[in-house]
Amino acid sequence: MDKSSIGKWIRTQSYKHDGSLHRTWDNMMVIDVSDDYIVTGSCASRVVECDGRIWYTKEPAVSIYFLNNWFNVIAMIRGDNVCYYCNIASPTLEDKMTLEYIDYDLDLKLFPDNSIIELDKKEYLFHKEKYHYSNEIDKIVLHEFDRVKNLMKKRAFPFDNKKMFEYINVYYQIKKEQDEIF
C-alpha cells in the first residue's frame, strides 16, 4: 500500500494464532501510509464477529496498523477527548486492500485522564496453551505489552491526541470530498 491508497475504502481482518478468523471491520478509509504504518479513519464501521454477530462502532475512530511492531491502536474520538484501545497483535499485513493481523488477546486501554487498564490476561493465558504459542511468541507479546504501556504513559505516538485529531480531520475532509462527487 502506498500514498495512492489514501481515500480508498478497505477492510480489516483479525485472526487467531491457528488462522481462524476472529473479527472483521468494514468501511475503513486509508488516511495515511508510511513505511512503518497504515492509518485508517472510520465512523459507524460494521464489525462482524467470528460467530456471525454484527454490530457497528459508535464513534469516529482513527486506527493505526503497524507493519513492523506487534500492536495496533484504535483512537476513539469522543468530543474533545480520545480513548485509546491497543491490541497486542502481529505486525499487520496488507492483501488486496485488506489489512490482516493475528490478535494475541492482551489489550490495553488508555483513558483521557491517563489511566491505563490491562485487559484479557486470562484469555491470553488460555489461548497461549490452546494454540501452543512458542516461547518466542510469548516473549515478543509480553515485551510489546510492556513497551506499549510505557508509550501510553509518555503519550508518545500513537497515543498523541493532537495527531489523532489531525487524522480524524483528514478523514472528514476526504469523506466530504467523496460525498460531493457522488
CA 39 to chain CA mean position, Å? 9
Q: Which among 23, 46, 147, 155 is annotated as catalytic?
A: 23
23 carries an active-site annotation:
yes
DSSP 157: T
Place of cell 494475541: 104
| Cα 74–Cα 20–Cα 90 angle in degrees, nearest 5 | 45
Say how far residue 77 (Cα) sits from the centre of its chain.
14
> Strand 9-15 relative to strand 21-33: parallel, antiparallel, unpaired?
antiparallel
Catalytic residues: 23
